[in-house]
Amino acid sequence: MVYIGCHLSVTKGYEAMGNVMKGFGGNTFAWFTRNPRGGKAKDIVDADAAALNEFVKTNNFGKLVAHGSYTMNLCASKPETRANGLDMLKKDLERMEYFSGNYYNFHPGSHVGQGIEKGIELIAEALNRYLTEDMNTVVLLETMAGKGSEVGSTFEELKEIIDRVTYKDKLGVCFDTCHTWDAGYDLVGDFDGVLTHFDNVIGLDRLKAVHLNDSKNERGSHKDRHEKIGEGYIGLEALKRIVTHPVLSDHPFILETPNDDEGYKKEIVMIKDFFA
């Protein structure tokens, strides 16, 4: 069985997203905790959150993967930008407790000229500030393409963040196929080798979710431009090997391809057919 879905809009509420994804033929999904390009967050109605939790349980959905805003930069060089990011993280983690036991994924951040080590230090400091022993959400650091001054384009950088966080059991990794490919990892010719390297550096027990995307760019481009499944440089056969890999069999796969609703429906069917 595969858990497959895509990003959905929260505009009509939380339970509504579950119904939409069921209509798409999927059994997991992602949503932005607030406007992805800004700071506004939709108010959570207790009854609506409870209804989604019941819907997910009743319909045997996999873990859900909420996504932090793209503007949240925990290692920004400007104090006001970092303060805004810290506020987003704090409030997002509070909101995620309405959906106990799911994942909160975010881009680690960009150090903006401060250097990788300083970026890692600031990200870990932020996580130590707001991760708690009794929280029920697992926070996922996303693998990044290495565009500009992004932190997290190597497994070693993600490991260094994790090593500095007190409540390590609250941390995992979301493996983005486009980002990891664009960062230079050979998902086409040696995916088993990539997973072995990930296991040696971070540990496969921390790989919790996958953003399933093709790439518009050749390996190592550091450009981060997603493509539809099978239409990019990673290609259909390599992505099929990734989805059907036994190590990832119970993980949520989230499509972030450049699609409309009909396109996502087709890709969900395509991914499910990998197991036919």
20-77 residue pLDDT tens: 999 999 999 999 999 887 777 888 999 999 999 999 999 999 999 999 999 999 999 9
The pLDDT confidence band at residue 233, using thresholds 50, 70 and 90, is very high
Residues 167-178, mean pLDDT to the nearest whole number:
98
DSSP string of 154-199, one letter each residue = SHHHHHHHHHT-S-GGGEEEEEEHHHHHHHT--TTT-HHHHHHHHH
Give me the pLDDT at residue 223, please: 94
Element (H, E) at 211: strand 207-212
Per-residue model confidence (pLDDT) at position 35: 84
Confidence band for 172, pLDDT divided at 50, 70 and 90: very high
Host H or E run for residue 48: helix 46-58
pLDDT (tens digit, 9 = 90+) per residue, 217-226? 999 999 999 9
Mean per-residue pLDDT over the chain, rounded? 97
CA triple 152-153-157, angle to 5 deg:
45
Structural domains of the chain ordered from first start = 3-273 (3.20.20.150)
What mean pLDDT is predicted for residues 89-97? 96
